[in-house]
Amino acid sequence: MAVDHVKRAFKYRFYPTDAQAAELSRTFGCVRKVYNLALAARTEAWARQERVNYNQTSAMLTAWTKTEELAFLNDVSSVPLQQTLRHLQSAFTHFFAKRAKYPRFKSRKTSRKSAEYTTSGFRFRDGRLTLAKMADPLDIVWSRPLPEGAKPSTVTVSQDAAGRWFVSLLCNDPSVRPLPTTDAVVGVDVGLDHLLTLSTGEKITNPRHERRDRARLARAQRELSRKARGEGTNRAKARRKVSRVHARIADRRRDHLHKLTTRLVRENQTLVIEDLTVRNMFKNHPLARAISDASWSEFRSLLEYEAAWYGREVIAVDRFFPSSKLCSACGTLQENMPLGVRTWTCDSCGTAHDRDVNAAKNLLAAGLAASVCGAGVRPQRSSPGGQSAVKQKTPRREP
């Protein structure tokens, strides 16, 4: 699959001056205010069985800026305010298409602080980025270079819960091209003891990032719980300390997953994974924390978009396919396979299996068969007895 002119976001940390931080904080507040006002107006119209589109909310914004109560909206750049209306329109589009829930109001404490600028709201020259309403460029730490000759089409400024400032530049990246084709294919089984088990027999250790920092996180959370609730400075400092621990865990996890997915995509033409419903798996409370730390959903997301960039194929096998209970040598389906069983021997052919490696091999075989036939896979409903457990069915839409 050819990929031309891939738009890629390059994210960098920056250190604003006091004046820039104050201006950006005002912008974040105004963005949140406009979003909530527009959502309230559209919700009221929805209750009357009417629809309000982006153009109408844009006209509302113009009227709001002329009122005495909302005159402060004129103090910040109008570009991020218009962009937040476009984001709201996109949220409603996904809602009407039944791809997402009804949009929610933004909270001052919990919602992400961000503002998006289009080309009319910033100037980028000679590696220096200056935003509207600011006299000086941002002090950006260029941890990696932008593509040669790149011109950002949008710039998103954000501040995370740990107080760190980031700027994301969306550019065309001509360096992203399909990799040379290869005959290598691999099945990937995710787990907790080992993060990934490949059909080649390789097992990749689960780093358990959250467990490594669990004591530090618990200590910070205890300190936060002792602080009086309210807007006090001490509680804000304690909350930021907890956020820094969470940010450290998330950064290390994301870095590890990026390296894994990049390696898998570069080495293999086709990758077969299991279509897991991770959200439902969180209902298993004893394992929920470990499942969240493994971040299987993020792994799949990274794998799929990197495969699309580089001309690779990712196949998701139906979640009901019995990859663990099926003998990869003869196709016999075992009746029971408790989670505690890590190795087992097939009753029919006598082949000894490692549970995870066997599952990865079965996923690979089922995924390749489904790819050739253009169908999904699910378990055979008949009782075991040497019969194959792979059955073709009509393809269904992905959730």
Where are the strands (E) in the chain, listed by range?
A: 6-14, 113-118, 122-125, 128-131, 140-141, 154-159, 165-173, 185-190, 194-198, 203-205, 270-274, 313-317, 343-345, 352-354, 376-379, 390-393
Tell me the C-alpha distance between 356 and 190, whole Å.
8
Tell me the C-alpha distance between 259 and 302, whole Å.
10
Catalytic residue among 23, 116, 293, 356: 356
Task: Say whether 274 is catalytic.
Answer: yes
Among positive and negative, which fits the CA dihedral 363, 368, 373, 375? positive
- The 3-state secondary structure of 310-346, one letter per residue: CCCEEEEECCCCCCCCECCCCCCECCCCCCCCCEEEC
Give the 3-state secondary structure percentages of the chain, helix then strand then coil, rounded to 5: 40, 20, 40
Token representation of residue 91: 């949220």
Contacts of 276 (CB under 8 A, 6+ apart): 190, 296, 319
Task: Say whether 313 is catalytic.
Answer: no
Catalytic residue among 23, 189, 210, 293: 189
DSSP helix/strand/coil, 153: coil
8 A C-beta contact, residue 321 and residue 297: no
Catalytic residue among 173, 210, 274, 306: 274
Catalytic residues: 189, 274, 356
